[in-house]
Structure 1
Amino acid sequence: MTRPDGPIPNPPLCPRSASFVHMACLALSAAALFAEFLIAYSLMVGGGATAPLRPAWAILVAGLLLLALQGVLVQTALVRPLREAGLRVEQLAQAMEQHTHRDLLTGLLNRIAFEQMVVRELESLRRYGAGFCGVMLDAEGLRRVNETQGYEAGDLALHELGQLLKRNVRKADLLFRWRSGTFLLLATGIGPEQAQLFAEKLRRVVEGHEFRPGVRLGACVAVAQARPEDEPEQFVARMKTALALERERCERDGPEA
């Protein structure tokens, strides 16, 4: 599946633009050298005297060397810092992209990343038939942890839950924190039956894990298969509907763990 590389605002200066400035400065320096050479040569030849020819050539060579030194100084003092600044901007842009696409609490991909990537996956489904399923998991018991042990304990449990889910999904799958204690998984290359088995495995993993002494969570899990005619909103709405039905079933039949 596609990895997150969604668009972010272009920085004011990037390595490509810095390289362009570098080449432009070199071209302008070369043009200036050539122009001054032509001017000096025309002045020398236009004088008509042969006696001062050697001093004129010496002055011309000295001038060209001085201009070359000037070009080196410009390169060192102006162009190189511009390129270094461009590299720093690129590093900052990468850090901003990570911040934009990652949930700070769990370290997982966030809802912004999902909204960009699901569009690509649906387009891949329509063009190439690359099917995938969505698995939505809602953690149960977080409110109880917040009320009895405090919000810091709830945040720690959420972080550990995110890492637990990450360890139990395939490398090709994409795991997102949707909101609060709800997580969403895009599982590629499997049908709804396989996805249902996978969702059940995740539910058992969550319910069998002790997050800290005395802290256990439940999980309500639902599956929806992506369809070629889906828009992102339709796909997500079908997962939400399936999750609501599953929650009603759990409340009706009672918890299994």
Structure 2
Amino acid sequence: MTGKEDEKRFESQMETLREGYRERLRRQLDDMIRVAENLEESLDPLPTLETLHHELHKIAGGAGVFGMPELGKKARTLELQMKGIRDRAVSGKGLPFSEIMAAIRGLSVPDTLSEKEDPLSSAQWEKPSGVRSDDLAGSEPQLLIIDSHEKRGRELVFSLRYFGYAPRHCHGLSDASSLFPHKAPDAILLSLSASENSYSSRSLAEDIREFFPEVPPLLVLSDNLDFSTRLAVSRAGGQGFFTRPLDVPKVVDRLEHLIGRRERAPYRVLIVDDEPMVAEHFCLVLRAAGMEVQREEDPARVLDMLSTFRPEVLLMDVHMAGCSGTELAGIIRMEEEWVGIPILYLSAESKMEEQIRALNSGGDDFLTKPVDDAFLVASVSAHVSRARRLAELMARDSLTGLLKHIRIKEALEVEMSRCNRDGSTLCVVMLDLDHFKRVNDTWGHSTGDRVIKALAHLLTRRLRRSDSIGRYGGEEFMAVLPGCSPEKAQVLMEEIRRNLKTIEFHAKGETFRVTCSVGIACSSLGSSPEEILQAADQALYRAKEEGRDRICMDGWSEVP
């Protein structure tokens, strides 16, 4: 489905929701008038006042969201007044029945929406960086290589393919439009040489923007870059310089940093609000931004939703019937597993002291309804992105970005539990770089680190999003492949083994290559994580014993 079709579908859904809300709002106002008419004859007016106060709070939050800001403001003012009237009822003082009736009758649904706050404006929202609803697991990042030297450009194309990229080569910027006529590449690798190119700081930027108005990440490859050229590239949006002979793993390392290690899974958002149509509005906005969203009206079901949906952020109203948002936040924070989940209050509550009280009751941020759609997307994205980053720092190896030893073993336990529940299988892979001590002793530990990172890049680019990859220790890696047959695991690891052998590493003016050994084991129904891990480790040991640079599986081996 194209972007325009997505936008039309979004606008159609929002139009349907808006009209549904307006129709329901008319009925809601009529019901409030009937309730208020019975207020004077009631022996106990407090429940009726509570009902009116709660309905006014809903309108104060929802009307502005659906393009009726003036109605929302009037409802908010009356909501605050109703609180004072309710306090008078508690103290036994007389109630201004005529004033209450006049104020409620003064609320009406406007014939037209405010253009300034029309929620259908598609310009109000955009997808957060790194989250694309059309991303497919395993999709290869598209690279544009610009090099007038045919052989050199082709060699770089082949080298980058080993790392799971889809590079395309052309001789100059003028050829770029034919290779990428509809969409810019994920990154540009531009070869510059004093004898081949002469760019001023302005012409390079202008030439690139002529073809790609939004300049993709730009890396420059050259024999030597003087300051004026570096300045030109920097002004054109350059984000990396590399000199020849080219160290491809270094280039890949920068690409991984700029493009993203792997396609990010959509942000998972849970909305808790007892006003279903308002919650659905927020759902549509966040889904249009590429997020996975669920909503829940009943606070009593939220803990179950946390366990099954496992959201990365909670949006919830402060004032809800039966259980306030602050009370629900307190319940959630009692659970150790959810102590760190970001909680964003989304409420019409505008009094600063109430907002501060809510934030002190387990909240991380307070967004006041009506909230701008783009601001909502940006706020959710910022909180989830930060939470993911913190989680990665705790769970991932600082050198490779892969899961740490304990985390990859935890991932195996989770996947094994799932397999034993649904009768599926998985494969566990253990990989070890051959003669790695020799690499460190000969070329130095910094070069050894680059070798480790190169293998990590191969794994992250070639394996699926659903696979778990970890640095098991030193130069040893572990991968958990759920739903993968032994045959597929063998083919996949063979490709990685062969690709690693083709990579040239440069150090101390010399070039060298490395190999790896691989052990694979597959689960059976009822097997434990310890059993399959031990089987994979034994297969790896056998691969080492049989000569290295080969794959061994529980029961057989693959000789190169």
Q: Normalising by structure 1, what TM-score?
A: 0.65
Deviation at 1:214, TM superposition (A): 1.4
Other structure's SS at 2:365 match: helix
Cα contact 1:199–1:222 (8 A) shared by 2? no
- Of the three residues 35, 41, 49, the one matched with 2:93 is 41
* 1:230 counterpart = 2:538: no
* 1:218 counterpart = 2:521: no
Q: Answer with 1 or 2: which has the greater Rg.
A: 1
Deviation at 1:208, TM superposition (A): 2.0
Name the residue aligned to 1:74: 353
Name the residue aligned to 1:127: 421
Partners of 2:416 and 2:352 in 1: CA distance: 54
Partners of 2:391 and 2:512 in 1: CA distance: 34
RMSD: 3.8
Deviation at 1:33, TM superposition (A): 6.4
Cα contact 1:102–1:108 (8 A) shared by 2? yes
Deviation at 1:104, TM superposition (A): 1.1
Partners of 1:200 and 1:76 in 2: CA distance: 58
Cα offsets for 1:175-210 (capped at 9, x unmatched): 221111111122233332332333222221212221
AA aligned opposite 2:523:
A
Cα contact 1:135–1:184 (8 A) shared by 2? yes
User: Structure 1's 144 and 33: CA in aligned 2 closer, same or farther, altered over 3 A?
Assistant: farther
Other structure's SS at 1:41 match: coil
After TM superposition, the structure 1 stretch with the greater mean CA deviation from structure 2, 79-88 or 170-179, is 79-88
Other structure's SS at 1:224 match: strand
Query: What are the equivalent positions in structure 2 for 1:92-241 lying under 5 Å apart?
Result: 93-212=387-506, 214-241=511-538
> What's the % identity of the aligned pairs?
25
Moved over 6 A (4+): 29-33, 85-91
AA aligned opposite 1:34:
R
Cα offsets for 1:93-148 (capped at 9, x unmatched): 43332122221101122323222221221122222222111121101132122112
Partners of 2:432 and 2:399 in 1: CA distance: 16
AA aligned opposite 2:479:
L
Give 1 or 2: higher helix fraction: 1
Deviation at 1:221, TM superposition (A): 0.8
AA aligned opposite 1:113:
R
User: Structure 1's 249 and 30: CA in aligned 2 closer, same or farther, altered over 3 A?
Assistant: farther
User: Structure 1's 175 and 210: CA in aligned 2 closer, same or farther, altered over 3 A?
Assistant: same
After TM superposition, the structure 1 stretch with the greater mean CA deviation from structure 2, 226-235 or 75-84, is 75-84
Cα offsets for 1:52-96 (capped at 9, x unmatched): xxxxxxxxxxxxxxxxxxx83423555468542898987654333
Q: Normalising by structure 2, what TM-score?
A: 0.32
Gaps of 5+ in 1: 1-28, 45-70
User: Structure 1's 33 and 211: CA in aligned 2 closer, same or farther, altered over 3 A?
Assistant: farther
Name the residue aligned to 2:180: none
Partners of 2:484 and 2:93 in 1: CA distance: 77
Cα contact 1:226–1:235 (8 A) shared by 2? yes
User: Structure 1's 34 and 242: CA in aligned 2 closer, same or farther, altered over 3 A?
Assistant: same
Partners of 2:524 and 2:408 in 1: CA distance: 17
Other structure's SS at 1:187 match: strand
Partners of 2:352 and 2:497 in 1: CA distance: 66
Partners of 1:119 and 1:209 in 2: CA distance: 34
Partners of 1:219 and 1:33 in 2: CA distance: 77
User: Structure 1's 83 and 165: CA in aligned 2 closer, same or farther, altered over 3 A?
Assistant: closer
The number of residue pairs the alignment matches comes to: 206
AA aligned opposite 2:400:
T
After TM superposition, the structure 1 stretch with the greater mean CA deviation from structure 2, 233-242 or 72-81, is 72-81
* 1:84 counterpart = 2:339: no
